[in-house]
């Protein structure tokens, strides 16, 4: 009985891998074994960097909020403490967007945070 090689499935599997390697330079997009290694490594980095992207955006939002708050005479940590005291529950992404695109509204939020801090300190002094 002749040997069965399952050629259609093997070819499909290899072409699928080469399709993923499309755009890579040189042998990394032409030769199956090299392309397979390159794709595995690229997928590893993609997985890692999906996690890192969240970290990087959080850092960016904090930097933007901090810069906007410092212009109004406050620090980032005191601002977040004031937001909590005032009962304002906006996430960093929204706060950073407001700080960049609508400085007047952000100034109003900072004033509410300052009022929340003042209320917190007066209640702590009276207790």
Phi, psi of 25 (to 5 degrees): -85, 145
Look up the CATH superfamily of 12-126. Answer: Ribosomal protein L20, C-terminal domain (1.10.1900.20)
pLDDT reading at 1 higher than 90: no
Structure tokens at 77: 């940590």
Longest dimension (CA), the chain: 95
The mean pLDDT of 88-111, rounded to a whole number, is 96
Condensed to tens digits (0 to 9), the pLDDT of residues 46-88 reads: 999 999 999 999 999 999 999 999 999 999 999 999 999 999 9
Domain ranges of the chain: 12-126
Q: What is the DSSP letter of 91?
A: -
């Amino acid at each position: 009985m002749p040997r069965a090689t399952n050629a259609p499935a093997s070819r499909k599997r290899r072409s699928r891998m080469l399709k993923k390697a499309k755009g890579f330079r040189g042998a990394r997009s032409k030769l199956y074994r090299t392309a397979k290694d390159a794709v595995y490594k690229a997928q590893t980095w993609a997985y890692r960097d999906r996690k890192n992207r969240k970290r990087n955006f959080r850092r960016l939002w904090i930097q933007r909020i901090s810069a906007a708050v410092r212009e109004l005479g406050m620090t980032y940590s005191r601002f977040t403490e004031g937001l909590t005291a005032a009962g304002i529950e906006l996430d960093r992404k929204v706060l950073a967007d407001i700080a960049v695109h609508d400085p007047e509204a952000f100034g109003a939020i900072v004033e509410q945070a300052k009022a929340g801090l003042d209320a917190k300190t007066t209640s702590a002094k009276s207790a």
